[in-house]
């Protein structure tokens, strides 16, 4: 029996090490107007995509809410006899970050309320990692192609082996390193689950619908023990439904006439800078006159929709999406190189009691490639597609329970 309890203790202690960040935390202290800590304050946290959570401040006036979904609209309500009820709104929680609050309550009747729009601190004193976090609003407003490898291009200290110009490299994975690391040590995580491709170490096992991401967190150094390697870690948090019905859609289109082309008539006498050897002009005129010799975009479409909402308000929520990308390009030998991506995602969240949260999530990404590796000897290239009709599935079932501060699974030695 004693050995079984010790084994149970080890399992519970080791379980958090199996996952990467997918949530954030709120830490706070409640004080009176003279800076004295206030114990026994009832603290209630609410948000549009989570049920209400309640705790009571400690003797030092401290409180905390752990494992919160990243959002920008959390609110904290403080209640204590002899003090005005205080509501702090607009609290921001980011993936893998701690939001630290210092809240002041004023003397007065409990029926009186004071509402304040909070500004979340930008300095996290509990974390030392070097990371970049991009929230949904930022991801949607970036003037770039829409995939994680483009985000890596713009991340400080990360070096990527290619540039995705106008979307011509979308649907292709890029290699990347940071701080002298090795690409084999890179990891990919979705909603707390390490999904790094076991057959291609350091690579992603699938492609993604860009609108699935609520936040993307990229860590390049100083990570804690939840990250098993010293490479770059990409951590995706997928969106979820809330108490309001939401619907979104997109259609992006890139046509070949949006790009410039090399001139077909070269004029050495006019001072054109290329090439340095005038005898090469006949060859260049022949190549570019035929429209060959450079990669070009023929047509790119990116479209899809997502919808979500409550099944039971404050208790059960759902969210789903479908996205398509069609990337049609021409390579240097004039052959077509086309990529088609289909992505499906679905999520259900339950919080029937405040202490327990359940989540089911499934994502499937299907890729078809036409013209891979085309060359002058083999212009058509190879056609490739995945094993499953709906793409490679990633599924997660998770249940987490908050037991409180006073429970211990480990027997005394």
The average confidence (pLDDT) of the chain is 81
The yes-or-no verdict on residue 162 having pLDDT over 80 is: yes
Range scoring the smallest mean pLDDT among 40-44, 181-185, 270-274, 316-320: 270-274
Distance CA 77, CA 57 (A): 12
**Over residues 358-379, mean pLDDT:** 85
* Share above pLDDT 70 across residues of the chain, in percent, rounded to a whole number: 80
- SS3 assignment for the chain: CHHHHHHHHHHHHHHHHHCCCCCEEEEEEEECCCCCECCCCEEEEEECCEEEEEEECCCCCEEEEEEECCEEEEEEEEECCCECEEEEEEEEECCCCEEEEEEECCECCCCCEEEEECCCCCCCCCCCCEEEEEEHHHHHHCCCCCCHHHHHHCCCCEEECCCCCCCCCCCCCCCEEECCCCHHHCEEEECCEECCCCCCCCCCCCCCCHHHEEEEEEEEECCCCCCCCCCCEEEEEECCCCCCCEEEEEEEEEEHHHCCCCCCCCCCCCCCCCCCCHHHHHHHHHHHHCCCCCCEEEEEEEEEEEEEEEEECCCEEEEEEEEEEEEEEECCCCCEEEEEEEEEEEEEEEEEECCEEEEEEEEEEEEEEEEECCCCCCCCCEEEECCCCCCEEEEEEEEEECCCCCCCCCCCC
pLDDT digit string, tens, across residues 12-55: 444 444 445 678 889 999 999 888 999 999 999 998 888 888 99
Residues whose CB is less than 8 angstroms from the CB of residue 397 and which lie 6 or more positions away in sequence, other chains included: 359, 360
Residue 94: is it exposed, middle or buried by C-beta count within 10 angstroms (0-12/13-18/19+)? buried
Range scoring the smallest mean pLDDT among 92-106, 173-187, 392-406: 392-406
Say what the pLDDT of residue 291 is. 46
pLDDT digit string, tens, across residues 238-257: 999 999 999 999 999 988 88
**Over residues 340-353, mean pLDDT:** 93
pLDDT digit string, tens, across residues 380-396: 778 887 777 777 889 99
Domains of the chain: 19-117 (2.60.40.1120), 128-413 (2.170.130.10)
Range scoring the smallest mean pLDDT among 13-27, 243-257, 286-300, 355-369: 13-27
Most confident among 1-10, 104-113, 137-146, 208-217 (mean pLDDT): 208-217
Residue 162: is it exposed, middle or buried by C-beta count within 10 angstroms (0-12/13-18/19+)? middle
Predicted TM-score of the model (pTM): 0.77
Measured in degrees and rounded to the nearest 5, phi and psi for residue 50 equal -155, 155
pLDDT digit string, tens, across residues 76-125: 999 998 888 999 888 988 887 888 899 999 888 766 667 777 655 555 66
Say what the pLDDT of residue 300 is. 93
């Amino acid at each position: 029996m004693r050995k079984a309890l010790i084994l149970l203790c080890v399992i519970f202690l080791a379980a958090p090490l199996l996952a990467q960040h997918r949530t954030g935390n709120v830490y706070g202290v409640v004080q009176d107007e003279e800076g004295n800590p206030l114990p026994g304050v009832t603290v209630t946290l609410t948000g549009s995509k989570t049920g209400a959570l309640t705790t009571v401040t400690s003797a030092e006036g401290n409180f905390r809410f752990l494992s919160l979904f990243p959002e920008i609209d959390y609110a904290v309500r403080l209640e204590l006899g002899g003090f005005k009820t205080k509501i702090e709104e607009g609290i921001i929680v980011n993936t893998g970050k701690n939001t630290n609050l210092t809240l002041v309550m004023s003397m007065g009747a409990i029926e009186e309320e004071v509402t304040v729009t909070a500004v979340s601190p930008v300095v996290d004193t509990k974390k030392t990692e070097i990371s970049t976090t991009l929230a949904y609003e930022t991801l949607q407003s970036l003037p770039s192609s829409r995939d994680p490898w483009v985000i890596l291009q713009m991340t400080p200290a990360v070096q990527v082996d290619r540039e995705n110009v106008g979307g011509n490299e979308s649907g292709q994975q890029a290699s990347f390193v940071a701080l002298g690391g090795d690409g084999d040590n890179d990891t990919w995580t979705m909603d707390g689950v390490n999904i790094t491709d076991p057959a291609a170490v350091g690579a992603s096992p699938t492609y993604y619908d860009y609108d699935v991401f609520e936040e993307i967190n990229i860590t390049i150094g100083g990570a804690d023990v939840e990250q098993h390697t010293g490479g770059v870690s990409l951590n995706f948090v997928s969106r979820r439904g809330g108490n309001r019905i939401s619907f979104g859609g997109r259609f992006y289109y890139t046509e070949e006439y949006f790009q410039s082309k090399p001139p077909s008539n070269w004029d050495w006498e006019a001072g054109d800078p290329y090439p340095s050897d005038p005898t090469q002009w006949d060859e260049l005129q022949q190549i570019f006159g035929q429209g060959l010799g450079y990669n070009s975009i023929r047509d790119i479409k990116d479209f899809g929709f997502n919808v979500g909402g409550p099944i039971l308000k404050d208790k059960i929520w759902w969210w789903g999406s479908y996205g398509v990308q069609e990337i049609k390009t021409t390579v240097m030998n004039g052959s077509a190189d086309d990529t088609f991506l289909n992505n499906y995602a679905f999520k259900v969240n339950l919080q029937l009691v405040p202490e327990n949260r359940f989540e089911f999530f499934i994502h499937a990404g299907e890729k078809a490639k036409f013209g891979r590796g085309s060359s002058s000897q083999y212009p058509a290239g190879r056609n490739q597609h995945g094993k499953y009709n709906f793409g490679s599935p990633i599924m997660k079932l998770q249940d987490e329970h908050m037991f409180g501060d006073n429970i211990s699974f480990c027997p005394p030695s």
